[in-house]
Amino acid sequence: MRLVDRDAPTIVAMWNARVRADADKTGMLVKRDGKYQPVKWSEIARDARRVAAALVALGVAPGDRVALVSKNRYEWIVCDLGIQLARAVHVPVHASLAGPQIAYQITDSGAKAVIISGPDQAEKLVDQASKFAKSLAIVSLDACPKPIGPFPVALMADLTAKVDDTAAAKIEEQAAANAKPDDLATILYTSGTTGEPKGVMLTQGNLAFNTMAMLKMVEQENDDLRLTWLPLSHIFARTCDLYTWIAAGIVLALADSPEAIVANCQEVHPTLINGVPYFFDKLQRFLISQGLADKPGTLQGMLGGRARLCGSGGAPLADHTHLFFKEQGVFISQGYGLTETSPTISTGQLSDTKVGTVGRLVPGVEVKISEEGEILTRGPHVMRGYWNLPEATAAVLKDGWFYTGDLGEIDKEGYLKITGRKKELIVTAAGKNIAPVNLEFLLTADPLIAQALVIGDARNFLTALVVVNPEPLMAELKELEIPVGNIADTLTNPQVRELYAAHIAQRLAGVSHYEQVQKFALLSRPFAVENDEMTLTLKLRRKVIEGHYAREIEAMYAPSAVAAGAR
């Protein structure tokens, strides 16, 4: 591994060191004309310098905010680096957001310029144009001939074509000389599971420290190739894919889309893949459904044949999935962190892992568990605060410690285990404290259950919304010779309900009586990001889901009710 200086104080310093060391070596594989093509570090550096110069020509000064609204693509990475070299503050906006949500982040951050991917994002902003400052500059990566309200849309390629490379090099030199660890590098808006947008302020030092700390835990090899598909607008991919790639000096390939990951694995044969639990669970379920779960090498084959390490984050990884991958010879390093912590607090290692935990603390990070069981952390990874929200900042940053809102414990061997979410903790009418995530893990280990949400706060007993997994369900019904019609009839069939009742009882056989799910509603429609029921890291937004299924929930708590339903 051609690691840059382990004490690189900023992302700018890290980037400049990498380009100096490996200018003529391949840094990326980028899909062009249907094939992955090698791109040298020097080419990426040239394009990033030109973006920086184009932004400066638009009037962007150090400390100004620049928003970027785009899915993953080569230009996303170039723009991120260009914004850093201009010493501006990158405000990455999730491409899947609606127009009003995007406009909020642009206006709340006080962005001086906005870079959009093309007409699809421009269309979202037409009705929002009246909210923008008159001085806002809008630039598009793809041709966007129509204005956004009164705002003309410049083409990035036209702006960079006018750049004088000598002037661009001067901007890069100034960044190298003047970028400091305390400089604000990015504002990431995170709504978490509450739906309240907050701009997390992370500095150059936050990002550089966490990147280098990760590489001390999960070392990478000279011939490693990382395939990235998670949204770079999220801190997990930003630090653990993008910046670790720069620091380690390996090759980075961009997936075409989340749906094309397996196909892309066959093209580039990655050794490193980061993902969220939903992705790993989906691979496991597919192999089970095809009768290939016990056949050696099938999982490795799906991942291109060379995968030596997968990283899981963003949400808890189910133990059965972790064990399945381990048995298939593909190691998953489960980590833990938050946007506010840049993000990594702990992670597993190839040589040191423990299923059911999120690994050991990364170097330089402190953690303690409060009397209430909440995980507190402090160190160079902790955010500066929430943008323009001093009260919200003060609520989570106390005496140097960041209050994560997560419940956990550290065992005698130093492994951190997450036991629940403080705000998600169910307190029953009898005063019993229950962590629903643990029960949901047990339920979704069943092949017939795709998703589950356990309910019971201030209630006399627990209930659950259960999303069925249709293919295994239909296969089992056929084997049991239970007649089925359409999905609505299937999920209200008493025999199907009895089948699910038996499966739920079996999965929860090892928990206490007050943790048993006594009633459930069967759903055909999965909880989805587009319905605001999940975050972009696929955590359940409990209150939103409970609102969408209020009728089904109340039916489960009605006297003598039998809850059933399909949506």
Supply the CATH number for residue 352's domain.
3.40.50.12780
- How high is the pLDDT of residue 303? 98
Ramachandran area for residue 269 (φ above 0: left; ψ -120 to 50: alpha; else beta): left
The DSSP bridge partners found for residue 455 are: 463
Domain at 93, CATH number: 3.40.50.980
Instruction: Please report whether residue 381 resides in a domain.
Output: no
Are 454 and 418 contained in the same domain?
no
| Per-residue pLDDT tens over the stretch 6-38 | 568 999 999 999 999 999 999 999 999 999 999
Mean pLDDT on 359-371? 97
Are 418 and 270 contained in the same domain?
yes
Mean pLDDT on 527-552? 89
Burial 98-123 (b: 16+ CB within 10 A, else e): eeebbbbbbebbebbbbbbbbeebbe
Instruction: Please report whether residue 267 resides in a domain.
Output: yes
Are 415 and 442 contained in the same domain?
no
What are the phi and psi torsion angles at 494 (to 5°)? -55, -35
- How high is the pLDDT of residue 196? 64
362: which DSSP letter? P
Instruction: Please report whether residue 8 resides in a domain.
Output: no
The CA-based angle 235-207-249, given to 5 degrees, is: 95
| Per-residue pLDDT tens over the stretch 210-265 | 999 999 998 889 999 999 999 999 999 999 999 999 999 999 999 999 999 999 99
Instruction: Please report whether residue 114 resides in a domain.
Output: yes
Q: Which of 228, 238, 200, 197 minimizes the C-alpha distance to 97? A: 197
Are 369 and 438 contained in the same domain?
no
Would you say how long the chain is, in residues? 567
- How high is the pLDDT of residue 347? 97
Higher per-residue pLDDT: 225 or 558: 225
Q: How confident is the model at residue 567 (pLDDT cuts 50, 70, 90)?
A: very low
Higher per-residue pLDDT: 194 or 532: 532
- How high is the pLDDT of residue 432? 79
Are 415 and 460 contained in the same domain?
no
Contacts 24+ apart (CB under 8 A), 309-312: 309/218, 309/271, 309/272, 309/273, 309/333, 309/350, 310/272, 310/273, 310/274, 310/275, 310/280, 311/218, 311/240, 311/272, 311/273, 311/274, 311/275, 311/335, 311/347, 312/274, 312/275, 312/276, 312/277, 312/280
Q: Which residue carries 């975050």 as its tokens?
A: 535
Are 480 and 333 contained in the same domain?
no
Helical (H) or strand (E) element with 246: helix 244-248
Mean pLDDT, the chain, whole residue set: 92
Instruction: Please report whether residue 34 resides in a domain.
Output: no
- How high is the pLDDT of residue 191? 66
- Last residue of one domain, picked from the residues 164, 179, 194: 179
User: What do you get for the CA distance between the two ends of the chain, in Å?
Assistant: 51
Q: With a cut of 60, say whether residue 424 has pLDDT above it.
A: yes
364: which DSSP letter? T
- How high is the pLDDT of residue 7? 67
- How high is the pLDDT of residue 435? 81
Q: With a cut of 90, say whether residue 181 has pLDDT above it.
A: yes
Q: With a cut of 80, say whether residue 561 has pLDDT above it.
A: no
The CA-based angle 73-236-304, given to 5 degrees, is: 65
Residue span of the structural domain in which 88 resides: 40-179
| Per-residue pLDDT tens over the stretch 96-115 | 888 998 999 999 999 999 99
Domain at 449, CATH number: 3.30.300.30
Higher per-residue pLDDT: 3 or 312: 312
Q: Which of 521, 504, 523, 525 minimizes the C-alpha distance to 562? A: 521
The burial of 512, by beta-carbon neighbours within 10 Å (0-12 exposed, 13-18 middle, 19 or more buried), is given as: exposed
Q: How confident is the model at residue 1 (pLDDT cuts 50, 70, 90)?
A: low
| Per-residue pLDDT tens over the stretch 72-93 | 999 999 999 999 999 999 999 9
3-state DSSP call for residue 561? coil
d(CA 175, CA 392): 32
Global confidence as pTM: 0.84
Instruction: Please report whether residue 370 resides in a domain.
Output: yes
d(CA 315, CA 331): 17
Are 435 and 535 contained in the same domain?
yes
Instruction: Please report whether residue 389 resides in a domain.
Output: no
Q: Among positive and negative, which fits the CA dihedral 5, 8, 14, 17?
A: negative
Are 454 and 527 contained in the same domain?
yes
Higher per-residue pLDDT: 196 or 336: 336
Instruction: Please report whether residue 11 resides in a domain.
Output: no
* Overall number of domains in the chain: 3
- How high is the pLDDT of residue 537? 74
Higher per-residue pLDDT: 425 or 305: 305
- Last residue of one domain, picked from the residues 422, 444, 459: 422
Q: How confident is the model at residue 486 (pLDDT cuts 50, 70, 90)?
A: confident
d(CA 167, CA 170): 5
Are 552 and 449 contained in the same domain?
yes
Are 261 and 240 contained in the same domain?
yes
- How high is the pLDDT of residue 112? 98
3-state DSSP call for residue 157? helix
Percent of the chain past pLDDT 70, that is, above it, reads 96
- How high is the pLDDT of residue 563? 46
Q: Which of 90, 145, 81 minimizes the C-alpha distance to 112? A: 90
Are 346 and 227 contained in the same domain?
yes
